[in-house]
């Protein structure tokens, strides 16, 4: 069964099949199933809910006219789809018409299977029914999931606060330090219509950068973990996206040390985060049945976790996409200007990431190239799946991040650092976060930041410039 699905999936991916082939193709079997079951974790076969293909098929199934349906599909699946869409009264345009919200519902229609899916996908692509560059698709139930993730995270913070002096972030809890930086824009690699937002002018922005470990728990830096680099530009004019942040002069970029994220959907993030709070983050990727493992997610996670950084001076990526104006999307990376040392020091102490950073910045400055890569093809560089890296798009340098020689570990600066809130939605509309994971973050980051500041009785204010604490 799996082998058969694999073969049809490969054919599907090749996009083969022409009108004349469709005519001579027998209808799909009545009970053929082509969509990955909802509870299946494997992504080796079939069409995945939320994927580019799934969005194309759903758009066709929900909006195609009767003539289009009968032109594109064989008579039997066309009958099935048309009848299913019209509801019990069999009349189009009445109150009981059905809108398909999952491809599994389309797959459940009699006689709709692999060949019908391929025909619907191809027609949708040729007729503008598939996502275009920078286009988002909002899925049913997202808001409720974001609320649920926020509620769970708040509970966890409350629980941990009972045994701690501080209410900490439930993600990226441990900071290695906040350092002063200057970000100098060089937009010469951008097209004129891409010179917008913070890339509009070749100017310098003062910035704060917070380096962190990803885990909810403060642990030894030699433990396998994601590493974060959060950049906050200041003196950025213009109204920002969030109501609460509208008049602030900050623009944030959040990056981690892998090119692709290890969670595909808000549902999966909820499952992942439940496991992470139980100290079992890795069990999200596995199942008793190896065919049900989250293979792509696991590969992405391993790339992040197997890195053994010698210091926070390493390469980081946004993993999720961001608008660059209308109808265009990009991802970001920050790459050290010089060589990257890797390998934990032999005698690595508990906080060696902040110690190595402190040693390096005591000796001299550090620098990163800040680059973006453009979304070139919405099918292979999807907006709604951040587990897929945009490997075929080259990075273009747009700024240099200079971190001057400095100290940053005074008690006052550590407290200042703890009280900062980095949020991808602290942004100009030109750089609006895109995709399901980013939409979830819009709800969660604000809720968590509000809560921990309240519990810590700390001011929740955006910085307006560099402060020298020592």
Would you say 103 or 260 has its CB closer to ligand HEM?
Answer: 260
- For 232-299, the DSSP string reads EE-S--S--SSGGGTT---EEEEEESSSS-S--SHHHHHHHHHHHHTT-GGGGT--SSGGGS-HHHHH
Name the minimum Å distance from CB 331 to ligand HEM: 10
Among 72, 430, 445, 463, binds ligand HEM (CB under 6 A): 445
Complex with ligand HEM: residue 60 or 445, whichever CB lies closer: 445
Q: Which residues contact 281 (CB under 8 A, 6 or more apart)?
A: 215, 272, 275
Compute CA 416 distance to the chain's CA centroid, rounded to the nearest angstrom.
28
Tokens of 125: 């692509």
> The tokens of 284 are what?
């999200």
Q: Is 353 among the residues that bind ligand HEM (CB under 6 A)?
A: no
Task: Give the nearest distance from C-beta 17 to ligand HEM in angstroms.
Answer: 36
Query: In this complex, which beta carbon is closest to ligand HEM, that of residue 318 or of residue 406?
Result: 318
- List 256, 353, 357, 409, residue binding ligand HEM (CB under 6 A): 256
Yes or no: say if 307 and 257 are a contact pair by the CB < 8 Å rule.
yes
- DSSP letter at 283 equals G
- Residue 2 CB, nearest approach to ligand HEM (Å): 30
Contact between 255 and ligand HEM per CB under 6 A: yes
CB of 335 to ligand HEM, least distance (A): 15
In the complex, the smallest distance separating the C-beta of residue 168 from ligand HEM, rounded to whole angstroms, is 8
Instruction: Considering only residues 288 through 347, tell me which ones interact with ligand HEM, judged by CB under 6 A.
Output: 318-320
Q: Toward ligand HEM, which CB reaches closer, 5 or 434?
A: 434
First-to-last alpha carbon distance for the chain, in angstroms, is 67
Distance from C-alpha of 18 to C-alpha of 30, rounded to nearest angstrom: 22
DSSP notation for 302-324: HHHHT--BSSS-S-EE--S-EES
Whole-number Å distance between alpha carbons of 200 and 324: 11
- Of residues 138 through 167, those in contact with ligand HEM by CB under 6 A are 149, 153
Q: Helices in 127-265 by DSSP H: which ranges?
A: 142-161
Segment contacting ligand HEM (CB under 6 A): 28-36, 278-286, 369-377, 440-448?
Answer: 440-448
Cβ 258 to ligand HEM shortest distance, Å: 9
Q: Which residue is nearest to ligand HEM (CB)?
A: 228
- Residue with Cβ nearer ligand HEM (45 or 427): 427
Q: Which is nearer to ligand HEM, 122 or 406 (CB)?
A: 406
Contacts of 148 (CB under 8 A, 6+ apart): 270
Distance of closest approach, residue 417 Cβ to ligand HEM, in angstroms: 9
Q: How many CB atoms lie within 10 A of CB 450?
A: 14
CA dist., res. 181 & res. 252, Å (int)? 13
Instruction: Please pick, from the candidates 41, 118, 169, 240, the single residue that binds ligand HEM as defined by CB under 6 A.
Output: 169
Q: Which one of 57-65, 235-243, 339-347, 448-456 is the stretch in contact with ligand HEM (CB under 6 A)?
A: 448-456
Query: What is the closest distance, in whole angstroms, from the C-beta atom of residue 320 to ligand HEM in the complex?
Result: 5
Distance CA 354, CA 145 (A): 35
Residue (118 or 168) nearer to ligand HEM, CB: 168
Q: Which stretch binds ligand HEM (CB under 6 A): 1-9, 78-86, 251-259, 304-312?
A: 251-259
Contact 232, 420 (CB under 8 A): yes
467 phi, psi to nearest 5 deg:
-120, 135
Distance CA(304)–CA(307), nearest Å, equals 6
Task: Kindly tell me which residue out of 43, 107, 170, 430 binds ligand HEM, with binding defined by CB under 6 A.
Answer: 170
- What's the closest the beta carbon of residue 177 comes to ligand HEM, in angstroms? 10
Residues 81-140 that bind ligand HEM (CB under 6 A): none
> Could you tell me the smallest distance in angstroms from the CB atom of residue 161 to ligand HEM?
13
Kindly list the distances between the CA atom of residue 448 and the CA atoms of 270, 305, 346, in Å, as whole numbers in the listed order. 15, 25, 36
- Bridge partner residues of 399 (DSSP): 185, 370
210 contacts ligand HEM (rule: CB under 6 A) = yes
Q: Which is nearer to ligand HEM, 121 or 331 (CB)?
A: 331
- Chain centroid to CA 14: how far? 26
Pairing relation of β-strands 316-317 and 204-213? unpaired
List contacts with ligand HEM (CB under 6 A): 149, 153, 169-172, 210, 212, 228, 230, 254-256, 261, 269, 318-320, 421-422, 437, 440-441, 444-445, 448-449, 452
């Amino acid at each position: 069964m799996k082998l058969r699905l694999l073969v049809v999936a490969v054919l599907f991916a090749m996009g083969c099949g022409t009108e004349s082939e469709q005519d001579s193709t027998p209808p799909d079997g009545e009970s053929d199933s082509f969509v990955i079951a909802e509870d299946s974790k494997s992504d080796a076969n079939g069409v995945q809910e939320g994927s580019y293909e799934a969005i194309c098929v759903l758009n066709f199934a929900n909006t195609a006219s009767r003539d289009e349906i009968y032109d594109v599909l064989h008579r039997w699946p066309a009958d099935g789809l048309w009848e299913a869409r019209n509801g019990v009264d069999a009349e189009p345009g009445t109150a009981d018409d059905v809108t398909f919200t999952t491809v599994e519902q389309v797959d459940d229609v009699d006689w709709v299977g692999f060949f019908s899916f391929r025909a619907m996908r191809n027609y949708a692509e040729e007729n503008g029914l598939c996502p275009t560059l920078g286009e988002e698709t909002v899925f049913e139930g997202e808001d409720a999931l974001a609320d649920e993730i926020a509620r769970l995270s708040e509970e966890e913070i409350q629980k941990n606060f009972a045994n701690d002096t501080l209410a900490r972030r439930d993600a990226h809890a441990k900071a290695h330090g906040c350092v002063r930086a200057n970000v100098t824009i060089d937009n010469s690699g951008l097209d004129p219509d891409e010179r917008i937002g913070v890339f509009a002018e070749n100017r310098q922005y003062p910035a704060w950068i917070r380096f962190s470990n990803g885990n909810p728990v403060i642990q030894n830096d030699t433990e396998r973990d994601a590493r974060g680099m959060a950049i906050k530009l200041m003196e950025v004019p213009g109204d920002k996206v969030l109501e609460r942040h509208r008049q602030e002069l900050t623009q944030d970029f959040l990056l981690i040390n892998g090119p692709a994220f290890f969670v595909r959907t808000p549902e999966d993030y909820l499952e992942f985060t439940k496991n992470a709070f139980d100290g079992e983050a890795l069990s999200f990727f596995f199942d008793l049945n190896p065919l049900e493992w989250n293979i792509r997610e696991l590969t992405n996670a391993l790339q992040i976790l197997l890195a053994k950084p010698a210091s926070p001076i390493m390469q980081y990526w946004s993993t999720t996409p961001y608008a660059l104006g209308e109808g265009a999307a990009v991802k970001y990376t920050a790459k050290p200007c010089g060589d990257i040392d890797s390998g934990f020091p032999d005698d690595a102490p508990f906080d060696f990431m902040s110690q190595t950073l402190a040693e390096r910045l005591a000796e001299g400055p550090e620098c990163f190239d800040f680059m973006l890569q453009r979304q070139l093809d919405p099918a292979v560089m999807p907006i709604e799946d951040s587990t897929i890296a945009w490997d075929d798009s080259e990075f273009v340098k747009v700024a240099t991040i200079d971190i001057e020689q400095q100290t940053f570990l005074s008690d006052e600066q550590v407290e200042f650092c703890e009280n900062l809130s980095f949020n991808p939605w602290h942004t100009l509309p030109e750089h609006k976060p895109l995709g399901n994971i980013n939409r979830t973050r819009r709800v969660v980051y604000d809720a968590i930041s509000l809560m921990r500041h309240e519990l810590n009785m700390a001011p929740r204010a955006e910085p307006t410039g560099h402060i020298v604490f020592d």
